[in-house]
Amino acid sequence: MSAPDSLPRIRPPARAGILRNITWLGVGSAAVKPLWFVFITHYCITILGDDGYGMMNWALYSMTIAAAFSDLGTTTYSIREVARDRTQASAFFSNLLAFRLGIGLALPGLVVLVGFLTAMPSPKLSALAAAGLYTTGLITVSYCRTFYRAFEVLRFEALSLILEKVLVIGGGMALLLLSGTPQSVLLGLAAGMTLALVWNVGWVHRRFAPFRAGLLSLSFLRSKLRAALPLGLFGLFVVFYVRIGPVLLEAMQGEAAVGQFSAAFRILEALVMLPAIVSAAVLPRLSRLFKEERQGAFARLVRLSTGGTLLAALAIAAPLAVFSEPVIALLSGGRAEFAPSAGLLAVMIWAYPLMSVNGLLSVVMMATDEQRYLAATLGIISLVSLIANLLLIPHYAAFALCYVLLASEVLILAALLTRYLRRLRPAHTASPH
């Protein structure tokens, strides 16, 4: 079967410019991300306390690792390939949406089953189950947004993001106030995310890539999964590298330590919004420029995106490092058990400029088919960070995660920058274009 020949005819929205896309996604994020941040930090911290907040985040971290196996690189691969050839959009959406929904439900279910068979306490088990539903919905919604990015019309992603956060925050806040338990909060998040998923699937089907059962093909699926595997390994290593630390911390130091770490880490996580917006806008454009061999334009876009993001990240990190104590006091409502979070924030926030540049350089690697190098780099660093956390957590508790994060980001920057300067930059500056 030739998937592109089977496509229904639709007229997708016109491609927008990079600045307009960044503006749309920036406005959408600015409209709802602060609300999400206040909810997931201030309200959840003050109502759940360090133990309850620690359990909620432990469940989310654990299920994020499990759910990541349903991506297998298909999100980034779909953006890159559909940006290069729009006629493949419906075949990608039909095959990979079905695959991701199936495996996305099976993997968290397997984790819950293992927890049940190992006699995990029922509060933790129910928290895992609710977190599994939420993370499955989240990564599937993220896949739907693949098509907004591939078609370079991020105003639809901005609207999707606003709708998602309104539904998720509404569900989570309602059950947080009603019962005040981490399990109920996670269930409210899952309910809101399910509604957001239904809307996004319907919107992509109508405007970008109609789902057609006739396009379902095991050979198509196998070929795309095989091609996306290096990106999939990279994605798994990223999730593992970022999330395994708190899981180990819970096993060694308990839920309160995870709660204190998460109060600071959620700030860093929220700030990643800035490089994520830039990455979402430039990945499809870099992919097209690379395929069209427009080397000069490619190199200029790399310089502008990485340089501008780095300057913005430094301007944000410095004041947060200085004023970490009042920031944490404000978010925690002055609760004494979260006082250690200020010291954690003052250390880990310096990873933010590194993470911002590394995120953009990773996009450059993806756009230039350097996914194998990307996967190998993150695989090695993930293993090193795992070993380092195991060795350092008994001595430094949550601070160990901060030290390991900083060191790991430095190593990632060195590896990616070296690859770009040696292999990619010369090829993209010698062109007469």
Give the DSSP per-residue string, 102-128. HHHHHHHHHHHHHHHHTT--HHHHHHH
- pLDDT value at residue 13: 72
Rounded Cα distance between 254 and 23, Å, is 42
Q: At what angle do helices 122-150 and 273-291 cross, to 10 degrees?
A: 40
Q: Per-residue pLDDT tens for 76-125? A: 888 888 888 888 899 999 999 989 888 888 888 888 888 888 888 899 99
Domain assignment present for 6: no
Contact by Cβ (8 Å): 209, 350: no
Closest CA to 69 of 216, 214, 237: 237
Contact by Cβ (8 Å): 255, 50: yes
Please report, rounded to a whole number, the percentage of residues in the chain having pLDDT higher than 90: 44
Does residue 209 sit in helix, strand or coil? Answer: coil
Going by C-beta distance under 8 Å and a sequence separation of 6 or more, which residues neighbour residue 42?
330, 331, 332, 333
Domain assignment present for 10: no
C-alpha count within 13 angstroms, C-beta hemisphere, residue 60: 23
- pLDDT value at residue 10: 63
Position 392 pLDDT exceeds 70: yes
pTM of the model: 0.71
Q: String of b and e for 280-306 (b: at least 16 CB within 10 Å)?
A: bbbbbbbbbbbeeebbebbbebbeebb
**The pair of three-digit structure tokens given for residue 132, joined into one six-digit string:** 């599994």
Q: Tell me the mean pLDDT in the region 407-416.
A: 94
Of 28-37, 103-112, 129-138, 422-431, which has the strongest mean pLDDT? 129-138
The band of 393, judged by pLDDT with boundaries at 50, 70 and 90, is: very high
Rounded Cα distance between 56 and 78, Å, is 32
Mean pLDDT taken over the chain: 87
Domain assignment present for 69: yes
- pLDDT value at residue 8: 46
Task: List C-alpha distances in Å: 60 to 9, 25, 74, 209, 315.
Answer: 40, 25, 22, 31, 30
Domain assignment present for 2: no
Q: Tell me the mean pLDDT in the region 395-412.
A: 94
Domain assignment present for 432: no
The band of 9, judged by pLDDT with boundaries at 50, 70 and 90, is: low
Q: Tell me the mean pLDDT in the region 305-327.
A: 93
Domain assignment present for 148: yes
Q: Per-residue pLDDT tens for 217-273? A: 899 999 998 888 887 888 788 888 888 889 899 889 988 899 899 999 989 988 888
Give the residue with greater pLDDT, 191 vs 20: 191
Position 334 pLDDT exceeds 70: yes
- pLDDT value at residue 50: 86
One-character DSSP codes across 353-370: HHHHHHHHHHHHHHHTT-
Domain assignment present for 3: no
Q: Could you give the number of structural domains in the chain?
A: 1
Domain assignment present for 361: yes
Does residue 431 sit in helix, strand or coil? Answer: coil
* N-term to C-term CA, the chain: 38
The band of 3, judged by pLDDT with boundaries at 50, 70 and 90, is: very low
Radius of gyration of the chain (CA): 21
Amino acid at 115: G
The band of 424, judged by pLDDT with boundaries at 50, 70 and 90, is: low
Q: Report the range of poorest mean pLDDT among 100-109, 130-139, 330-339.
A: 100-109
Q: Per-residue pLDDT tens for 144-195? A: 998 998 888 888 889 999 999 999 999 999 999 999 899 999 999 999 999 9
Contact by Cβ (8 Å): 263, 53: yes
- pLDDT value at residue 389: 94
Give me the domain span that covers residue 365. 15-427
Q: Tell me the mean pLDDT in the region 34-47.
A: 91
**The pair of three-digit structure tokens given for residue 110, joined into one six-digit string:** 């397997």
Count the residues in the chain.
433
Amino acid at 370: E
Position 1 pLDDT exceeds 50: no
Q: Report the range of poorest mean pLDDT among 11-20, 63-72, 155-164, 207-216.
A: 11-20
